[in-house]
A and B are shown apart, each in its own frame.
Chain A
Amino acid sequence: MDPLLLALWGFTTPAVFLTLLGSVVIGLVIGAIPGLSVNIAVALAVPLTIFMPTEQALVMLIGLYGSGIFGGSISAILLNAPGTPASAATIFDGFPMARAGLATKALRISLVASVFGSVFSIALLVMLAPQLAQFALRFGPVEIASLLFFTFLIIGVLSGGSLMKGLLSASIGMALATIGSDPMLGIPRFTFGSTSLMDGLTYVPLLVGLFALAEIIEEATKGFSKTAQKVELAAEDRAANRITRTELKMMGVPMLRASAIGSAIGILPGIGATIASFLAYADAKRSAKDASRFGKGDVRGVAVSESSNNAVVGATFIPTLALGIPGDAVTAILLGALVLQGVTPGPLIFMTAPGIVYTIYFALLLSTILMGVIGYFAVRPLAMTLRIPKIYLMPCVALVCVAGSYVARNNIVDLFVMIGAGVLGFVFNRTGVPVAPLLITFIITPPFEEALRQALTRSQGSFAPFLTNPVTIGLALVAILLVLLSARRERALAARASAEKAADDGDAKASEGRA
């Protein structure tokens, strides 16, 4: 039989299907727990797969991976605590929506967007994997450094009102990112002789602290409300929580762009889903005609963040399958699991084991569909979490924060980082300093420094490659164009505002005159 049909036939076996179902559910749950990342789930599942048939093993690992990233958005929306780092950008609009009683709607949008992003990247994987992988290989240190330098520009977009406060936040993030081993020489920086700090701070505890713990402290200052929340999921809210046709239309183009951004980031090594979701968020906010609702509960904010991070999932399989080089930590573990199954992953896998490739395609697609179905029914009960009085809910969240920060590396330092970040986040919230720029610079700085210094090692310290590289020049032109455009728009807005003000003043004077 054709390997394609054979692979599809494999999914009709009850054992394979039930494994897929089970792993999608477990992935959702683990993803939703802040700190318990998808990587841990997949890594711990590998030894269990040794004695399974190949299909069942693959289905288990892939099911965990895809649904885990969607699971992360659940806690981001409901608790202000991203379940996975990739869902951090979902918080910006997801949590305000939940506060406004639109939790169900936010979760639904997240689900739709996740499925959309997954399908988009799976389509790319199936159709263009070899070509895209070859293209990605051409991205060397110079190109990656330029691309990351360009992403620093989004600090401006994420800063909200005050650029000064945004830059303050960004510089703290950058300073924190320099803790740890120097990427080129391995010499420790700001570690004070502690081996625990050699790898620097990681972003799970930072993220959990900045968002979740900061929120707990905020609630603590209000003395924790003991009454059930007024988030009614009754009849009148049913209508408000339905996604309207206009909203779908409004989200369509941004989701498409976000999925493209996510896929592009997923193909490149070492950048990751978290940067993808921030980039997509900034892109959507910048290109929106009316961006005033962003950060206050705009449906597009949730949609772009979730579609881009799920698009990364399919895209990381592109270098993994086409080149035999894993796109991220999870696909690296997956490659290891393939070896256990007696399959040599590598560029020839399409010829030597086409059945495996098709099984991976179908597992990705089916797990996305199952995630959609399970998610659809789970959304309303999940939203009920918000009805739990804060005095009971918050201690549980705090417990999860502590456990989640610790398990990622079994390193006690991470616990202190989480607590410190929580206090910092609280201070930031009270003083109106945005948290997002800190996070984004913290995440971008290490790969940027690595790529920059790799490039400079190759050119023996000369910056010339940056001035002659077509990618660098292209990105620089786009950057200049963006700055000019936004400056023009600012001026237009200012002009309109002053015109309106003048008109108001005119009216006021006129009425005074009449009086």
Chain B
Amino acid sequence: MTSTRRTVLSTALGLGLAAATGLSFGLSAAPASAQGWEPTRPIQIVVGFAPGGGTDQTARLIASAAQELFPVPLVVVNRPGASGTLAAEIVANADPDGHTLLVGGGSESTSVPNHMETNYSLDQFRGVARVNREHMVIVTKAGSGLDSVEAVVEHAKENPGDLAYASSGPAGILHSAFLVFEKEAGIEMQHVPYQGGAPALAALLGGHVDLAIITPGDAMAQMEAGNVNAIATTSDRAPQIPDVPSLSELGYDVNLENMKGLVAPAATPDEAIAYLQERFEQAMQSETFATLAERANIQPGYLSGQEFEQAMSDMSAAIREAIGERPEGN
């Protein structure tokens, strides 16, 4: 038995959302399923972070857009804790019957298991669909003189260990992104972890660290205000800030993103995965999804289950390689 009270709250919320978007799963006709697998009870979408955060928004977005295609309710359940690994552990060990999904693809999937021992690993999950991707933007404080990747690398090479970067916490995706960048650029910097992205940005603006990684939306706002230099993104160029180059363009082999998508326990049967994948793909092409994603400032990035798995394992491998060359716990 999981959360009684929270489930009730989430269900109420899901119902509210469904009503608000003019959907109602009671009336909707689910597409006829040829594969012979049908969900028989509510499908839980487990979120490893507190309600209101980015991962939670993604979960509620896809749940409300996909609801009309399912004969059973899609229920978002928050199990925050340990940078999302608590939820990942729960889903990795859940019944692989297609009724329990995790919003994965971020720190808990690609980053944390490479840094420390976790009670699950990436190959205990099967991809269902990637929902969105979020670019990561490396920023420095305006007026610091570190106005390009070149300037940062040059400074770091001349004064090893002098520059410091802020992360959202040890072992998270931001920490890993800096580790991969350090390795590719052949530099060494200090890591100063903060409790989340917001305090990390505050530390950068206060001049307590030299570099931080933020979202394109935040980068745009802080650049307009003349507070930060956005020196590079860690994957390709972000549509919100098209003038900021990517690290790979600049000659550093870095391709990391904060992805969000749905994964299921690895032993989930093919028929169930096919059933889920078909419906979530259809949901992401819907009008509802497009409207909601635009309002929530979420950049859709559909990938099929297999492609999503591949993207996660590529990122995980790059991170593992970068950590391998460093002393324990750094």
A474 within 8 A of B: no
In the assembled complex, which residues on chain B have CB atoms less than 8 Å from the CB atom of A329? 50, 52
In the assembled complex, which residues on chain B have CB atoms less than 8 Å from the CB atom of A333? 52-53
> Which of A37-45, A80-88, A276-284, A379-387 is found at the contact surface with chain B?
A37-45
A195 within 8 A of B: yes
Known: A50-B295, A195-B89, A340-B296. A409 touches B227 (CB 8 A): no
Tell whether, in the assembled complex, residue A137 and residue B295 are in contact, meaning their CB atoms are under 8 Å apart: no
Tell whether, in the assembled complex, residue A199 and residue B82 are in contact, meaning their CB atoms are under 8 Å apart: yes
Tell whether, in the assembled complex, residue B79 and residue A410 are in contact, meaning their CB atoms are under 8 Å apart: yes
For A324, give its contact among B50, B85, B206, B221 (CB under 8 Å).
Answer: B221
A341 to B294, CA, bound (A): 10
In the assembled complex, which residues on chain B have CB atoms less than 8 Å from the CB atom of A354? none
Q: Which residue of B lies closest to A50 (CB)?
A: B295
A460 to B81, CA, bound (A): 30
For A47, give its contact among B17, B54, B118, B198 (CB under 8 Å).
Answer: B17
Tell whether, in the assembled complex, residue A47 and residue B221 are in contact, meaning their CB atoms are under 8 Å apart: no
A218 within 8 A of B: no
Contact with A along B201-244 (1 / 0, CB 8 A): 11101111100000001101110110100000000000000000
B324 within 8 A of A: no
Tell whether, in the assembled complex, residue A454 and residue B192 are in contact, meaning their CB atoms are under 8 Å apart: yes
Tell whether, in the assembled complex, residue A407 and residue B5 are in contact, meaning their CB atoms are under 8 Å apart: yes
In the assembled complex, which residues on chain B have CB atoms less than 8 Å from the CB atom of A340? 295-297
For B221, give its contact among A46, A341, A345 (CB under 8 Å).
Answer: A345
A188 to B222, CA, bound (A): 35
Contact with A along B1-40 (1 / 0, CB 8 A): 0110110010001001100110000000000000000000
In the assembled complex, which residues on chain B have CB atoms less than 8 Å from the CB atom of A48? 13, 16-17, 20
Q: Which B39-83 residues have C-beta < 8 A from chain A?
A: 50-54, 56-57, 60, 77-83
Tell whether, in the assembled complex, residue A196 and residue B192 are in contact, meaning their CB atoms are under 8 Å apart: no
A241 within 8 A of B: no
Known: A44-B13, A50-B20, A458-B164. A140 touches B206 (CB 8 A): yes
B292 within 8 A of A: yes
Q: Which residue of B lies closest to A202 (CB)?
A: B81
Tell whether, in the assembled complex, residue B225 and residue A348 are in contact, meaning their CB atoms are under 8 Å apart: yes
Known: A340-B296, A346-B225. A323 touches B202 (CB 8 A): yes
A156 within 8 A of B: no
Tell whether, in the assembled complex, residue B193 and residue A184 are in contact, meaning their CB atoms are under 8 Å apart: yes
A199 to B86, CA, bound (A): 10
Tell whether, in the assembled complex, residue B164 and residue A411 are in contact, meaning their CB atoms are under 8 Å apart: no
A186 within 8 A of B: yes
A229 within 8 A of B: no
Tell whether, in the assembled complex, residue A183 and residue B193 are in contact, meaning their CB atoms are under 8 Å apart: yes
Q: Which A442-459 residues have C-beta < 8 A from chain B?
A: 450, 454, 457-458
In the assembled complex, which residues on chain B have CB atoms less than 8 Å from the CB atom of A181? 82, 170
Q: Which residue of B lies closest to A40 (CB)?
A: B51
Tell whether, in the assembled complex, residue B9 and residue A458 are in contact, meaning their CB atoms are under 8 Å apart: no
Q: Which residue of B lies closest to A344 (CB)?
A: B221
CB distance from B46 to the nearest CB of A (A): 10
A22 within 8 A of B: no
A342 within 8 A of B: yes
CB distance from A17 to the nearest CB of B (A): 21
Tell whether, in the assembled complex, residue B60 and residue A457 are in contact, meaning their CB atoms are under 8 Å apart: no
In the assembled complex, which residues on chain A have CB atoms less than 8 Å from the CB atom of B296? 50, 339-340
Tell whether, in the assembled complex, residue A332 and residue B222 are in contact, meaning their CB atoms are under 8 Å apart: no
A346 to B119, CA, bound (A): 39
Known: A43-B51, A339-B217. A325 touches B17 (CB 8 A): no
A403 within 8 A of B: yes
Tell whether, in the assembled complex, residue B221 and residue A346 are in contact, meaning their CB atoms are under 8 Å apart: yes
CB distance from A322 to the nearest CB of B (A): 10
How many of A's residues come within 8 Å of B, CB to CB?
Answer: 58
Tell whether, in the assembled complex, residue A141 and residue B208 are in contact, meaning their CB atoms are under 8 Å apart: yes
Q: Which residue of A lies closest to B85 (CB)?
A: A195
Tell whether, in the assembled complex, residue A458 and residue B208 are in contact, meaning their CB atoms are under 8 Å apart: yes
Tell whether, in the assembled complex, residue A46 and residue B195 are in contact, meaning their CB atoms are under 8 Å apart: no
A141 to B137, CA, bound (A): 24
A193 to B54, CA, bound (A): 28
A270 within 8 A of B: yes
A323 to B198, CA, bound (A): 10
Tell whether, in the assembled complex, residue B6 and residue A137 are in contact, meaning their CB atoms are under 8 Å apart: no
Known: A42-B52, A51-B20, A198-B86. A137 touches B206 (CB 8 A): yes
Known: A43-B50, A198-B85, A332-B52. A347 touches B3 (CB 8 A): no
In the assembled complex, which residues on chain B have CB atoms less than 8 Å from the CB atom of A195? 81-82, 85-86, 89, 118-119
A42 to B89, CA, bound (A): 27
CB distance from A515 to the nearest CB of B (A): 72
For A44, give its contact among B9, B86, B191, B192 (CB under 8 Å).
Answer: B9
A138 within 8 A of B: yes
B259 within 8 A of A: no
A274 to B12, CA, bound (A): 31
In the assembled complex, which residues on chain B have CB atoms less than 8 Å from the CB atom of A325? 198-199, 201-202, 205
Tell whether, in the assembled complex, residue B17 and residue A347 are in contact, meaning their CB atoms are under 8 Å apart: no
A70 within 8 A of B: no
In the assembled complex, which residues on chain B have CB atoms less than 8 Å from the CB atom of A192? none
A10 within 8 A of B: no
In the assembled complex, which residues on chain B have CB atoms less than 8 Å from the CB atom of A450? 194-195
Q: Which residue of A lies closest to B89 (CB)?
A: A195
A160 within 8 A of B: no
For B53, give its contact among A50, A336, A409 (CB under 8 Å).
Answer: A336
Tell whether, in the assembled complex, residue B6 and residue A410 are in contact, meaning their CB atoms are under 8 Å apart: yes
A324 to B224, CA, bound (A): 12
A295 within 8 A of B: no
Tell whether, in the assembled complex, residue A457 and residue B205 are in contact, meaning their CB atoms are under 8 Å apart: no
A342 to B170, CA, bound (A): 32
Tell whether, in the assembled complex, residue B81 and residue A199 are in contact, meaning their CB atoms are under 8 Å apart: yes
In the assembled complex, which residues on chain A have CB atoms less than 8 Å from the CB atom of B13? 44, 47-48
Q: Which B249-273 residues have C-beta < 8 A from chain A?
A: none
In the assembled complex, which residues on chain A have CB atoms less than 8 Å from the CB atom of B2? 410
Tell whether, in the assembled complex, residue B81 and residue A324 are in contact, meaning their CB atoms are under 8 Å apart: no
A141 to B166, CA, bound (A): 12
Tell whether, in the assembled complex, residue A47 and residue B16 are in contact, meaning their CB atoms are under 8 Å apart: yes
In the assembled complex, which residues on chain B have CB atoms less than 8 Å from the CB atom of A50? 17, 20, 292, 295-296
Tell whether, in the assembled complex, residue A140 and residue B203 are in contact, meaning their CB atoms are under 8 Å apart: yes
Q: Which B112-166 residues have C-beta < 8 A from chain A?
A: 115-116, 118-119, 161, 164
Known: A138-B206, A324-B221. A270 touches B80 (CB 8 A): no
In the assembled complex, which residues on chain B have CB atoms less than 8 Å from the CB atom of A254? none
A198 to B112, CA, bound (A): 13
Tell whether, in the assembled complex, residue B205 and residue A187 are in contact, meaning their CB atoms are under 8 Å apart: no
A426 within 8 A of B: no
B190 within 8 A of A: yes
Known: A51-B20, A458-B208. A407 touches B3 (CB 8 A): yes
CB distance from B288 to the nearest CB of A (A): 12
Tell whether, in the assembled complex, residue A139 and residue B295 are in contact, meaning their CB atoms are under 8 Å apart: no
A178 to B53, CA, bound (A): 26
B169 within 8 A of A: yes
In the assembled complex, which residues on chain A have CB atoms less than 8 Å from the CB atom of B161? 460
A332 to B78, CA, bound (A): 17
Contact with B along A328-365 (1 / 0, CB 8 A): 01001100100111101111100000000000000000
CB distance from B14 to the nearest CB of A (A): 9
List 5 A–B pairs whose Cβ atoms lie within 8 Å, in order of A's numbering.
A140-B208, A324-B222, A329-B52, A346-B221, A348-B225
Given A196-B86, A336-B53, A450-B194, 12 more pairs with CB closer than 8 A: A185-B170, A186-B171, A195-B81, A269-B199, A319-B202, A324-B218, A344-B217, A346-B218, A410-B3, A410-B79, A454-B192, A457-B191
10 tightest A-B contacts by CB?
Answer: A346-B221, A198-B82, A186-B170, A43-B52, A43-B51, A347-B225, A333-B52, A137-B206, A140-B208, A410-B3
